[in-house]
Amino acid sequence: MAFGDQRLEDVVLHLPASLRDRAEAMANRECLSLNLFVLMAIAEKLQRLQLQHCLDTSERDEASSPEDSFRSSVVH
């Protein structure tokens, strides 16, 4: 997903000073603005959570499928 093709909106974000300082230092090390660093961090976190949700859903679906019940009863 490209960030440039979407409309941006301002958001007020309240951060503890120590967390902001750490994020700003890391952004500087990566040659990024704090804004871009935070944007990328949020996108990365959302992607990880979405992947985890998909994996959890897939595991649940596999565990409750009739084929698995049949296979497990045949194996035991």
Local confidence pLDDT in tens for the 76 residues of the chain = 455 568 889 999 999 999 999 999 999 999 999 999 999 999 999 999 999 999 999 888 888 876 655 655 566 5
**pTM > 0.75:** no
Total Cβ atoms within 10 A of residue 41: 13
15 Cβ contact partners less than 8 Å away, ≥ 6 residues apart: 23
Choose among 51, 69, 54, 33: nearest CA to 43: 51
22 Cβ contact partners less than 8 Å away, ≥ 6 residues apart: none
- The confidence score (pLDDT) of residue 1 equals 47
